[in-house]
Amino acid sequence: MNMMGLMAVTALLVVPASAALALVFLPSYRIGARLNVSAALLSLLAAVTLLWVQPEPNLYLRVDDFNIYLVVLNNLVSFTTSVFSASYIAHELETGRLTPVYLRFYHAMYQALIFAMNLAFLANNIGLMWVAIELATLVTVLMVGIYRTRAALEAAWKYFILGSLGIALALFGTILVYLAAQPVIGEGLPAMAWDHLLTRASAFDPALLNLAFVFLLIGYGTKAGLVPLHAWLPDAHAEGPTPISAVLSGLLLNVALYAVLRFKMLMSANPSALAPGPLMVGLGLLSLLFAGLMLYRRGDIKRLFAYSSIEHMGIITFAFGMGGPLANFAGLLHMMMHSLTKSAIFFAVGHISQAKGTQRISTIRGLTTTHPTLGWGLVAGVIAIAGMPPFGVFMSEFLVVSSTFARQPLLALPLVLGLLLAFGTLLWRLHGLAFGKPDSGPTVPVQASILPMLVHLALVLIAGIWLPGPLVAWFHNVAVLLG
């Protein structure tokens, strides 16, 4: 059993890394797209295997209650996005927006991104996790600028500069954690391993831990799209390929927040250290309220949902900042529901923007008439992400609000205000997009892959009605670990 678990973990790293190398040399788009989908499917199967068999941790890699479902979620969305990507990128090739050379580069970088995210989740070493997140940053920078337009290159540079700043701050925080652990655990790899750090964190110097967490929260918070270091995210979504927008919102933001939560566990294990909750609550509320206001000013459909991602990362950060079993449970559920829902929305938006030949909201009208499947899929996605029943996002937001009302009623006021701001804007925009009078402009025929969108929406709907017992047990176990 342990050997099977070790093989599964190895596959999660070796399959995407090998596929990335192979895709660099494949000249055929069709073969490259199929290999991309096949490699993502193999990674998903390896991730699902870990639900039953888990290897013993070592100084480099670890599978535990905290990361196992996030690994499965990461590879599920990576696989469905690769299926969506196959038809989306084929259209970009036909229209000349991407050349065959860039397509080979795109597929190779997609697998490299899966490898980096899997490594970040599985790393038992705080330095290795930092390297993995830095690799994911560099890969996505290259993919955001793949169209080589002025706007795309500007977005890539902005992402690179702000991402580098954030990752540099996170590196400094990581070094400080190592310095705090060194007198207690000793030099070398054990002082960087999560299992060693958690068991001895109560003896660490609280002053070093406090300083480290501030740098880590700001550094990885930049990668998570939290205000005020969020400016890279809307541009990256608007100018990069839509499959990358789906991965950025659905997965990469989770990776950065996962890193923050790992270090939050260290802080909670040290009774003399700074309470991380108020800092996270403050950043979460700031992100939620700022994004809710900025949604009203967006004229680009991908920027609109980029700010929606900032809003939801604010909700998740707020929930984990509040802490306690119920709020942590809600944060974990919301993390999963947001990943599935937002990626489904970007699946619809990607094909819609191709069909309409624009991303301008003012020129996209009456989608339920002109493109019924995509239009109604977008309606369902927006209703879900706005927090309306019976979808899973409603359940997670309800738990966050009710937990806050029970413990800190005054904090519930700005929380609900932010939710209502976003709710109103999304429904207002949805009315014109889905039910407005269609314009008479030309429509480009698009071969859309609607199955990934439908699968995600179905999962979010099921989660709003019924959650499997093992998933609830996992949420409960991890909620207790997070403190």
Mean pLDDT of 205-228: 90
Burial (Cβ within 10 Å: 0-12, 13-18, ≥19) of residue 238: buried
444-481 per-position pLDDT tens digit: 555 557 888 999 999 999 999 998 888 888 888 888 88
Determine, yes or no, domain membership for 91.
no
What is the spatial distance between Cα 332 and Cα 357, in angstroms, rounded to a whole number? 37
- Of 151-155, 170-174, 444-448, the range with the highest mean pLDDT is 170-174
Whether 120 contacts 255, CB under 8 Å = yes
The packing angle between helices 301-322 and 409-435, to 10°, is 160
Dig out the tokens for 51 from the structure.
């639900």
Distance of CA 299 to the CA centre of its chain: 23
Q: What is the pLDDT of residues 174-210, one digit of tens each?
A: 999 999 988 888 888 888 888 888 888 888 888 899 9
For 402-430, b/e burial (b = at least 16 CB within 10 A) is: ebbeeeeeebbeebeebbebbbebbeebb
Let me know if residue 459 belongs to a domain: yes
Give the number of domains in the chain. Answer: 1
The mean of the pLDDT values for the chain is: 87
| Mean pLDDT of all residues in 157-178 | 90
Q: Is residue 347 part of a domain?
A: yes
Q: What is the pLDDT of residues 227-247, one digit of tens each?
A: 888 888 888 888 888 888 888
Query: In which domain, by residue range, is 425 found?
Result: 275-483
pLDDT in tens, 256-305: 999 999 999 888 888 888 888 899 999 999 999 999 888 887 778 888 88
In a domain, 85, yes or no: no
pLDDT recorded at residue 446? 55
What is the structure's pLDDT at 96? 67
Considering the domain boundaries, does residue 393 fall inside one?
yes
Is 328 within a domain?
A: yes
Report the Cα 12 to chain-centroid distance in Å.
Answer: 18
Distance CA 319, CA 24 (A): 42
Structure confidence by residue, pLDDT tens digits, 385-402: 998 989 999 999 999 999
In a domain, 410, yes or no: yes
Q: What pTM, to 2 d.p., does this model score?
A: 0.92
Alpha-carbon dihedral of residues 97, 103, 107, 108, nearest 10 degrees? Answer: -130
59 vs 236: CA distance, rounded Å: 35
What local confidence, expressed as pLDDT, does residue 440 receive? 58
Q: Which amino acid is present at 410?
A: L
Q: What is the spatial distance between Cα 387 and Cα 396, in angstroms, rounded to a whole number?
A: 9
Is residue 61 domain-resident?
Answer: no
* pLDDT at residue 369, as a whole number: 84
Contacts of 262 (CB under 8 A, 6+ apart): 66, 126, 129, 194
